[in-house]
């Protein structure tokens, strides 16, 4: 049950955070892992008996070479996880076209290229998982470029599920709220974001990358047969409504005002 034995899984953004957790989990579950990153993920890949292909997901030739290498090494691709991403704050009035295009190029075009060059090597039963974000589902002030790029991932996931469904390929995206990774640690507003996430979630904490990897394992397994075209929110009930802690915080802020 939920075996990934012998499955060939390409993971981008594999050197850190969510991608690294996926590499570790998929390796333990028996998958042949092809780890890709602009940074060095060779030790992680080797630790699970996989291979590392240095790849900038925003470069079409490099993404094609990644997918071709995976197929040449293992015969085909079963699971393509388009996870690489970057985050920068970008209030609309301060956002340059160059910055917007850079973030969009990595986060959105990178996902497009991953799907475009993986699918020719995939067969019926294949699975694509795109790492989207809570910012794919709602707007948040101060991050217009990231939000636009992640809404694009959501939209492309829907289109891909419709286009590749007839090939027997399922496509989903995963939308986490704050995950404890290097990306979050590098944010100037990390303390504020962690405070908001732990207050809005009645579970009262942020997410560990291993908890996202567990969902990817489920989505990639043959047991998961009819989930496609959807955005799965991993938000600890933050989007279910107003948590008591959030209501209390609003009331006490009002009383203090």
**Within 103-132, which residues bind ligand NAD (CB under 6 A)?**
106, 131
What's the farthest any 2 CA atoms get from each other in the chain? 65
Taking the complex as a whole, the smallest distance from the CB of residue 255 to ligand NAD amounts, in Å, to 31
Do 51 and 71 contact (CB within 8 A), yes or no? Answer: no
- Closest to ligand NAD by CB, 48 vs 184, is 184
**Rounded Cα–Cα distance for residues 236 and 166 (Å):** 33
Q: Which of 79, 95, 147, 178 binds ligand NAD (CB under 6 A)?
A: 178
Give yes or no: 74 in active site. no
Site string for ligand NAD, 37-66 (x = CB under 6 A): xxx---------------xxxx--------
Of 173, 197, 196, the residue nearest 80 (C-alpha): 173
Does 148 bind ligand NAD (CB under 6 A)? Our answer is no
Query: Which strands form 170-176's sheet, in the order they lie side by side?
Result: 51-54, 32-37, 8-12, 79-82, 127-131, 170-176, 231-234
Does 210 bind ligand NAD (CB under 6 A)? Our answer is no
Return the HEC string of 95-163. Answer: CCHHHHHHHHHHHHHHHHHHHHHHHHHCCCCCEEEEECCHHHCCCCCCEHHHHHHHHHHHHHHHHHHHH
- Closest to ligand NAD by CB, 234 vs 245, is 234
Does 219 bind ligand NAD (CB under 6 A)? Our answer is no
Active-site choice (74, 146, 216, 242): 146
Does 235 bind ligand NAD (CB under 6 A)? Our answer is no
Which residues are known catalytic residues?
A: 146
Q: What is the contact surface with ligand NAD in residues (CB under 6 A)? A: 12-13, 15-19, 37-39, 55-58, 83-87, 106, 131, 133, 176, 178-179, 181-184
């Amino acid at each position: 049950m939920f075996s990934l034995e012998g499955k060939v899984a390409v993971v981008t953004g594999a050197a850190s955070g969510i991608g690294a957790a996926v590499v570790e989990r998929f390796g333990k579950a028996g998958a042949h892992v092809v780890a890709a990153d602009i940074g060095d993920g060779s030790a992680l890949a080797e630790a699970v008996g996989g291979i590392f292909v240095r790849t900038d997901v925003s470069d079409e030739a490099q993404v094609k070479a990644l997918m071709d290498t995976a197929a040449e090494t293992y015969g085909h691709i079963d699971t393509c996880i388009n996870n690489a991403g970057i985050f920068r704050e970008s209030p609309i009035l301060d956002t340059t076209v160059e910055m917007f295009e850079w973030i969009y190029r990595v986060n959105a075009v990178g996902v497009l290229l991953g799907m475009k060059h993986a699918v020719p090597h995939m067969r019926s039963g294949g699975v694509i998982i795109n790492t989207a974000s809570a910012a794919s589902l709602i707007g948040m002030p101060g991050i217009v470029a990231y939000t636009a790029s992640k809404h694009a991932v959501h939209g492309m996931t829907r289109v891909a599920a419709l286009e590749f469904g007839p090939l027997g390929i399922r496509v989903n995206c995963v939308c986490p709220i704050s995950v404890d990774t290097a990306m979050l640690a590098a944010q100037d507003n990390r303390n504020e974001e962690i405070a908001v996430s732990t207050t809005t979630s009645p579970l009262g904490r942020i997410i560990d990358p291993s908890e996202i990897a567990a969902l990817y394992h489920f989505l990639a397994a043959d047991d998961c047969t009819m989930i496609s075209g959807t955005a799965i929110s991993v938000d600890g009930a933050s989007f279910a409504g107003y948590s008591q802690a959030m209501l209390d915080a609003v009331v006490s802020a009002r009383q203090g005002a």
